[in-house]
Amino acid sequence: MSAWASYVLGAAALLGALGVVGARDAARGAAALWIMAASLSGVFALSGAALTAAVYLFAYSGASVLLLLAALALERSPAGPGWRGNPRAWFAGAVASFAGLGLAAVVFRNASDGPINSLLAPAAGAQGNPLFALAACSCLAAAACIAVVAISAPPDSSPAPSGSENS
């Protein structure tokens, strides 16, 4: 394993962990958690522990998507006190999750000769590990879910300050 790659991925994992702690909104927190998961799994994949890398991808990708959807489902309404659901975020997250799971199932079914597994074979070992290919697709599904929900989130509708308060 290249020492520089290990240091870069370790630094990215640390920055991702700090981003999770310091994130102020759900999309940034889930994206930082996903960056941390991808970086940690990259460290394990480079060291030859493909199964550990796959477990990290599964666990943290799922955790980032659940964190994002739970936070968006209980988003505070800017119009007044109380909580409201965000149906657009739920729909976008569900579509992205089902699309990612479908892609992961197709890749897992065709893992021995699929094009994605042949790209992942150097990281997963000489024969290629179908579990690692499935975990990588779940990580991509988590990234797609985070991106779709972040794009479809409604803009902040807080009133802009007016300059006529002192007159």
Does residue 114 belong to any structural domain of this protein? Answer: yes
pLDDT for the residue numbered 83 = 44
Does residue 124 belong to any structural domain of this protein? Answer: yes
pLDDT for the residue numbered 67 = 62
Using CA atoms, how far residue 156 sits from 11, 75, 78, 150, in Å, is: 32, 12, 8, 13
pLDDT for the residue numbered 1 = 47
Q: Which amino acid is at 136?
A: A
User: Does residue 126 sit in helix, strand or coil?
Assistant: coil
State which residues form the domain around 120: 3-152
**Residues 95, 87: contact at Cβ < 8 Å?**
no
Does residue 97 belong to any structural domain of this protein? Answer: yes
pLDDT for the residue numbered 126 = 40
Does residue 162 belong to any structural domain of this protein? Answer: no
pLDDT for the residue numbered 144 = 62
Provide φ and ψ at 84, rounded to 5°: -140, 155
Does residue 157 belong to any structural domain of this protein? Answer: no
pTM for the predicted model, two decimal places: 0.40
pLDDT for the residue numbered 50 = 63
pLDDT, one tens digit for every residue, the chain (167 residues): 455 665 666 666 666 656 655 555 666 666 666 666 666 666 666 666 666 666 666 666 666 666 666 666 555 545 545 444 455 555 655 565 566 555 555 555 555 554 545 555 555 454 455 555 556 666 666 666 666 655 555 555 544 455 555 54
pLDDT for the residue numbered 22 = 57
Give the total number of structural domains in the chain: 1
